[in-house]
Amino acid sequence: MIQPANGDSGATSAQLRMQTRTIQIVVAALITGVVTFAGFLAVSGEFQKPPRGQTLSYVAVAFGALAAVLHVVVPAAIERTSLAKQGVGAGPEMLMGTLFTRTIVACAILEGAAFFSLVAFQTEHQLWVLGVTAVLLLLMIAQFPTATRIEHWLETRMMEQATDRR
């Protein structure tokens, strides 16, 4: 369990739980947006329409592949920059802000590409492009922050800081 510098573990634990819940709600909302739009396409009859063209679908594949790479690279760069600005000795509360930003950026990158692939499907009716959406959605779900993941991330960062102080 993460221990704050001032020893007030009860207040910090409650605050971390609240911040964890907030991150979970935001990520769930990003996932739900993609699922809702896909559901709308299903009930609006888009699956019954004949295919027409593939240009946007191919662009969606490229955009999805790029997003799959960027959802790792961009948040890592944000994390490095943020941790460098915070310096050694940042507490769990400050580190949570970094994790919050990192997680939302990663999911937002994936969400944008997933929406693009759904629009490509809506426009061209190529069923195979929904595979891109599914992969991006799975990557978003894999980013879902659990209390255990967050605690592990915080402990790792605090151990790195302790090592940097030496």
pLDDT tens-digit profile, the chain (166 residues): 444 444 445 556 788 888 899 999 999 999 999 999 999 999 999 889 999 999 999 999 999 999 999 999 999 999 999 888 877 666 777 888 899 999 999 999 999 999 999 999 999 999 999 999 999 999 999 999 998 999 898 888 888 877 766 5
Long-range (24+ apart) CB contacts under 8 A made by 8-15 are: 12/91, 12/92, 12/93, 15/93
Q: Where in the chain are the domains? A: 11-43+53-165
The DSSP code sequence of 65-98 is HHHHHHHHHHHHHHHHHHHHHH-TT--HHHHHHH
Instruction: Report in angstroms the alpha-carbon separations of 73 from 8, 34, 102, 111, 112.
Output: 35, 22, 10, 16, 16
Backbone φ and ψ of 144, nearest 5°: -55, 125
Tokens of 72: 């790792």
| Contact indicator for 2, 16 with CB cutoff of 8 Å | yes
